[in-house]
Amino acid sequence: MKNFKTLLSLTLVLCMLAVSAPASFAADETTLGGAYAVILKITDEDSTQTVLVKTDSDPVQEILLNISSGTAILDNETRGAADFSSLSEGDDVFVYYSLAMTRSLPPQSSCAAIVTNLEKGKAQAKLMTVGTITENEDGGIAFTNKAGDYVVTVPETAPVSRLGEEGSLGVSDITEGDTVFTWFLIAAMSYPAQAQTEAVVIIDSPGAAGSGGGAENPGAAESGSMFADVAENAWYAGDVAFAYDNGLMNGTSENPLLFSPSAGLTRGMVVTVLWRMAGSPGDRVPAAAGGGQFSDVAESAYYYQAVNWAASDENKIVTGIGGGLFDPGANITRQDLAVILMRYTSYAGITLVLTTDYVIFADDSQIAGYASSAIQSLNKIGVMNGVGGDKINPRGQASRAEFAAMLHRFIEVAGEMGVDVPAMDE
């Protein structure tokens, strides 16, 4: 799924004057950009630290990186923490930064990590978020990164440490959800790529003191099992719990309590959930004259207010199918869901700006022209993932479980960017 081609990329840009740097490292690889860069200017005054860099990306660009206590600065040679004071103008570095940028010139972004002291011919630290872990017979482990494009083997003898802390750890201290640095020069030309790391440095762990991270499926064991048809170990269990606990999605049956995770998602359901996420605006957003009124949306229907809100001239989140119809009971495809979610990002005050990387999916030819940008955007920020085999399945029906997962990811990304989600304030 992560085969990149230099055609088009989607960089998430907030309509803000500044990007607030996180108090602690809270980003993972799926929400970050990375590039080799040279430091042009360093500012350290009035409790503000910034680094202006010029990247070697295509196109080359300058980025003003905001440094915070959560920025990981790593010496690639010693594999230990480096101080901000060790940086110098003219240094060649590798930077990891949030894809949330300002519209200023140069654009500003929160800096997640800076790797210094690079040397040609030697392995360079690669930032990853640990996904599924398996134990090897030789005492080591292997993990798939969260982006799904690497399987990294960690030998039992590989040095493991935590950035900025003395003492060594073992492979058993690496847990799912950890953000880590790994080192390898060679990776097998497969998908996902296979590599063996020379060492692991843990930057952040879910639930660690001061950590902004969290388990991939928080609340799975606690709330996911309340539904008879949602197993505690299901990949979507935590997402279902999140959507249910926050009043975004309801069950489909009360006795027994069911969620129907594999069931299709209707157009009426989608707009109702987004309406709830917006704080259930009600009469505060009037329906559009004509365009927001559909003959197949009865006033008694549970989605009546939501459809009128979403189709209003002010919001323009959904449109009808023509002939004055909305077709609320029709199941929605993944690509149409992406388009609607993208329109919701505009409603929420987030703007997506085209830049240079285009994700090539195995079923790329199946993506409709009108949905391509939306799918690229949501995949780029980690809201819409593939379905395996490098496919995005654009014309497949979206399931309730998939929607719960997308909602959860969207709200987490919005929170990291400081975008208010009214439903979370209630």
pLDDT (tens digit, 9 = 90+) per residue, 331-390? 999 999 999 999 998 888 776 554 456 778 899 999 999 999 899 888 888 889 888 778
Task: For residues 320 and 338, give the distance between their C-alpha atoms in angstroms, rounded to a whole number.
Answer: 16
Q: What are phi and psi of 253, to 5 degrees?
A: -155, 145
DSSP 327-386: -TTSBPBHHHHHHHHHHHHHHTTEEEEEEEEEEEPTTGGGS-HHHHHHHHHHHHTTSS--
Q: Tell me the DSSP string of 144-163.
A: EETTSSEEEEE-TTS-EEET
Provide mean pLDDT across the span 53-72.
Answer: 85
Average per-residue pLDDT in the chain?
A: 81
- For the chain, which domains are there? 12-116 (2.40.50), 125-204 (2.40.50), 220-425 (no CATH)
Quickly state the pLDDT bin for 51 (edges 50, 70, 90): very high
Residues 273-304 have pLDDT tens digits of 999 999 988 644 444 443 447 899 988 898 99
For 147-200, write each residue's pLDDT tens digit.
888 999 999 999 999 988 888 899 999 998 889 999 998 888 788 889 999 999
Give the span between the Cα atoms of 48 and 29, in whole angstroms: 25
Which residues are within 8 A (CB) of 350 and not within 5 positions of it... i.e. 6 or more apart?
Answer: 12, 14, 15, 414, 417, 419
The pLDDT value recorded for residue 108 is 84
Nearest to 117 by CA among 72, 158, 87, 159: 87
Say if residues 115 and 126 touch (Cβ distance below 8 Å). no
**Which of the pair, 255 or 328, is modelled with greater confidence?**
328
Q: From CA 19, how far away is CA 360, in angstroms rounded? A: 30
Specify whether the CB–CB gap between 155 and 184 falls below 8 A. Answer: no
- The tens digit of pLDDT for each residue in 161-175 reads 998 888 889 999 999
Q: Which two tokens stand for residue 103?
A: 């519209």
Instruction: Give residue 393's pLDDT band: very low, low, confident or very high (50, 70, 90).
Output: very high
- Which has the higher per-residue pLDDT, 19 or 205? 205
Share of the chain above pLDDT 70, in %: 81
Return the structure tokens found at 165: 């802390």
| Mean pLDDT (whole number) for 323-330 | 92
What DSSP string runs through 179-199? Answer: EEEEE-S-EESSSSEEEE-S-
Query: Which residues partner with 12 through β-bridges?
Result: 352
Q: Which value, to the nearest 10 degrees, does the dihedral of the CA atoms of residues 217, 218, 222, 225 take?
A: -20
